[in-house]
Chains A and B, each alone.
Chain A
Amino acid sequence: AQSVTQLGSHVSVSEGALVLLRCNYSSSVPPYLFWYVQYPNQGLQLLLKYTSAATLVKGINGFEAEFKKSETSFHLTKPSAHMSDAAEYFCAVSPDDKIIFGKGTRLHILP
């Protein structure tokens, strides 16, 4: 079965520093991939999605992700962290009619 693995359940970065959240997927074909963000006591909101039109995908709030087929990865980055980025981030894959989520990475921003 297809799945995604998020490395690190918690990541801490200083305000202004680079944010890197890792996601690897298991798939024999290029999958449909997503990153979602969840703020406290809220539902999930789409950050970005892979569309196969470009390997570098830009999302909301300055986030972007790069699809690397050779590494089966879809890591999420942001050049400069802001306090408002503190949230939980989920990578997801949609191999068929389902959408399967990773276990999430909670991002902490240090002042």
Chain B
Amino acid sequence: NAGVTQTPKFRVLKTGQSMTLLCAQDMNHEYMYWYRQDPGMGLRLIHYSVGEGTTAKGEVPDGYNVSRLKKQNFLLGLESAAPSQTSVYFCASSSRRQGGNTEAFFGQGTRLTVV
């Protein structure tokens, strides 16, 4: 009963390095999201996907790329990390809305520090 699993849980990067955060969900959800959480800013949407092979930009997409090659996985990439990307990153998933209100299920987060 894993739900949403994020890998890794912690990471320290040097400025300019690249990395990929992996999100996996086992609930057969159509929608997946990547957020970043910073003190006093709440959760801000980076990118999201409404199905396998689709991605869309959220509020703060610059400096990030995503891919959804498989329905259960949503990858977030940082091509050239910057200190401003130091944050806690959360992945979430939800089922497709069909005339009702569907909530998102969250992973435990990835704490990323860029030095």
Contacts and interface: CB of A to CB of B under 8 A. Distances in A.
A90 B108 contact: no
Interface residues of B, number: 29
B79 to A, nearest CB: 24
B64 to A, nearest CB: 16
A98 B40 CA distance: 21
B57 to A, nearest CB: 10
Contacts, number: 59
Contact of B108 (A43, A51, A101, A102): A43
A9 B40 contact: yes
Contacts of A32: 97, 101-102
Interface of B: 4, 31, 33, 35, 40-45, 48, 50, 56, 58-59, 90, 92, 94, 97, 100-109
